[in-house]
Each structure stands twice: as structure tokens, then as C-alpha cells.
Structure 1
Amino acid sequence: MAVKVLIKRKVAENKVPELDKLLRKMRALTLNQPGYISGESFTRVDEPGVSMVISTWQSLDDWRQWTLSKERIDLQEQIDKLLGEPTRYEIFENA
């Protein structure tokens, strides 16, 4: 069953360009992952520096395998360091 992963981040406004660069790298890596279906990126219109990605995967196991890959872990650590806090994740499936 497909799952949607909401990935939420908040970064200081002056660090948005650096975060965008890291997220583009993450997106490029994600495109080649088994089970990856699609992704959409959003920014809040009323709060600069707040973003959300909705990532769709064929299964929860596919998502988990991606989260355990070394290349993702390394890039995610860079992102969280830039944010100054951990990225937040919420995982949903069709009811």
C-alpha cells in the first residue's frame, strides 16, 4: 500500500538558499530509489523559511530503506545541522 511522507522543515530566512541547494541534492538522490513514486515541495506563504515536502512511496518499507541509506543519512545530517533542529516526519497511508 502506498504511503505519503510529510517532511517539515524550518530554517532561518538567511539560510533558505543553502537549504534549497541541499534539498535539490536530496531530490536528485530520491529519484533513483526503489519504490519512490513522486514528490512535491511547498513553502509557507506566511512564514519564510518553513517548507514541506510530500513524498509518495510504494510502501513503508521502501521509505524506510531510503531513510537507512548512507547517502541519505549524510545529507540529512547536513540539513538538520543547518536547521538547528531535527527534520519532522509524518507518515500516512490511505484509509
Structure 2
Amino acid sequence: MIHVMIERHIAEGMLSTYEEFSRKALQETYIVHGFISAETLTNTNDIHHRFIMCKWRTQKDWNRWYQSRERMELMNKVYPVLSEPEKILVLEN
């Protein structure tokens, strides 16, 4: 099992738009092969700073999803509301 931490900074005035698009993207992820779970966290000092912690069965499952056309289509809606590119860290235990 691997853990994927996605860090995002949301542009000012775009919180509700981000939350709508992010929620839809997460709903689509729940049906992807190899996906186990996810939780969204907010920095208590900055509501525009978010983290998504996902668990995937394997690195291969994550890579397949990360490079998929489906994820790209979903993220093309999320990326414009970010103030900087997302950062992704893949971890294993």
C-alpha cells in the first residue's frame, strides 16, 4: 500500500469553486481500481492551503490514475482555481 499526499493552494475568492470541483474529482476516484481511501485536510492557519491524503493499493495503481485521461479532464477544472501548481508526494510504509 502507498500513501499519496497532494498539496494545493487555492486562489483567493475561489474556495467554493475549488470545493465543488474537488468533491467531484474525489467522487470519481472512489471507483478507480486500486483506490482505497482519501481524506481532505485544511491548514488551520490558512483555509486556502489544502492537503489530500490518499491510500492506493500499489504505486502502479496510482500512476495509472495519475496519468489517465479521466483524471486529466477532472483536474483541468481544478487547476485554474489554484494559485500555484499542486505538489504530490508518494509515500510507503
Q: Is the 8 Å Cα contact of residues 13 and 48 (structure 1) preserved in structure 2? A: no
* Amino acid aligned to 2:11: A
Residues 28-57 of structure 1, C-alpha deviation per residue, up to 9 Å, x if partnerless?
110000000000110111112110000000
Which residue in the other structure is 2:47 paired with?
A: 48
* Amino acid aligned to 1:6: M
Which residue in the other structure is 2:65 paired with?
A: 66
> TM-score scaled to structure 2, two decimals?
0.94
Residues 3-37 of structure 1, C-alpha deviation per residue, up to 9 Å, x if partnerless?
00000000124111000001111111100000000
Q: Which structure is higher in strand share?
A: 2
- Structure 1 unaligned spans of 5+: none
Count of matched residue positions in the alignment of Structure 1 and Structure 2: 93
Q: Give the superposition deviation at 1:86.
A: 1.6
* Amino acid aligned to 1:51: R
Q: Secondary structure at the match of 1:18?
A: helix
> TM-score scaled to structure 1, two decimals?
0.92
The CA RMSD measured in Å over matched residues stands at: 1.0
Percent identical pairs in the alignment equals 28
Which residue in the other structure is 1:35 paired with?
A: 34
Which stretches of structure 1, 4 residues or longer, exceed 4 Å deviation after superposition? Answer: none
Q: Secondary structure at the match of 1:28?
A: helix
Partners in 2 of 1:51 and 1:13 — Cα distance? 13
Which residue in the other structure is 2:19 paired with?
A: 20
Partners in 2 of 1:69 and 1:59 — Cα distance? 16
Residues 46-87 of structure 1, C-alpha deviation per residue, up to 9 Å, x if partnerless?
112110000000000000111121121011122112114221
